[in-house]
Amino acid sequence: MGGIVFQMGSQIWVQDPGGSVRLLSAEESAEEMAAREEERRKENENRRKEHEKRRKEEIAYWPQRKIEVVQELLNFLRVCQKTPAAERRKLSRWGLCEHYDWTIQRINHTPRRRCLCCCVGVFRDKLGDIDSLCIHRYLEKDWVREFMNMLYPYAGRAQRGTLLDCCVYLMWCPAWKLYKIGHTDDMRSRIEQHRRELDPNIECCSEYYTPLPPLFRRRRKCPLESFVHTHFRHYHVKTEASQELFALPEKDMHGFTDIVKAIEKHLLAIDILRLKALLSKFQAEC
């Protein structure tokens, strides 16, 4: 049947190539409805078969996909070990470097050498791909949830775009004549908060950006911050205003960044070993 067929309520109309519109007869309407129903059934069947085919392919590829994601996270942490904290700060300002293909050429003269922004971008894209596969029900949500929990807290922070925003800071409180050591994802907001609640003249002396984010969902404590507090425990001063005030000697104040860097080096090595063990497990299952 030539022309454009459309339905208005229970009536079926056809627009001829010449532009005229006419109402189909009962016999023509029944024939057209049957043809439409058959076409719709074939489309649904083809769509179902395509979905099932894609689902089987993704389920078969899921073990290898987990290996790839963990490998990208390992690459990210290894490059973090070689990247100074100041450069991590620049990458954080670039918004995790969405154009990391361009940035790798800008930062490195050799394309084979992977820069931090490239690792962040690839890791984030692979996690986003997994979410997409889960949304389209190619993968079971329980599988994805269990896998993401194994990579917590890196996975959640990469998806939110805050993987490089966590920093451990040292601030000087003139009113207390003490130093405050803490961590934050937003330095500007944290300074404003401390100026309202602790000391209106508080100043930031040092900030160290780290890929090690808070480990626990309820108790948002950065592991690097905890170990820095432990390192300076002999200088801790208990006050009602804050539990993070320290009477640091001048040499430790000036060497704060080097001390945090040394502590982070060991923590990154431990987390890399944990991910290596997880990678070995996935490779054995593959």
Reference 51, options 131, 137, 144, 143; nearest CA is: 137
137 or 172: which leads in pLDDT: 172
Mean pLDDT to the nearest integer, 79-105: 59
* Cα 43 from Cα 50, distance rounded (Å): 10
Mean pLDDT to the nearest integer, 3-9: 62
* Cα 186 from Cα 204, distance rounded (Å): 13
* Cα 242 from Cα 249, distance rounded (Å): 19
111 or 13: which leads in pLDDT: 13
* Cα 276 from Cα 66, distance rounded (Å): 13
* Cα 183 from Cα 192, distance rounded (Å): 14
Taking only the tens place, the pLDDT of each residue in 33-72 is 677 678 778 988 999 999 899 999 999 999 999 999 999 8
Place 95 in a pLDDT band, splitting at 50, 70 and 90.
very low
124 or 215: which leads in pLDDT: 124
Dihedral sign for Cα atoms in the order 148, 153, 158, 160: positive
Indicate the length of the chain as a whole number.
286
> What SS3 class is residue 7?
strand
The neighbouring-strand residues paired with 246 are 179, 236
Provide the whole-model pTM. 0.74
Dihedral sign for Cα atoms in the order 122, 127, 130, 131: negative
* Cα 248 from Cα 177, distance rounded (Å): 10
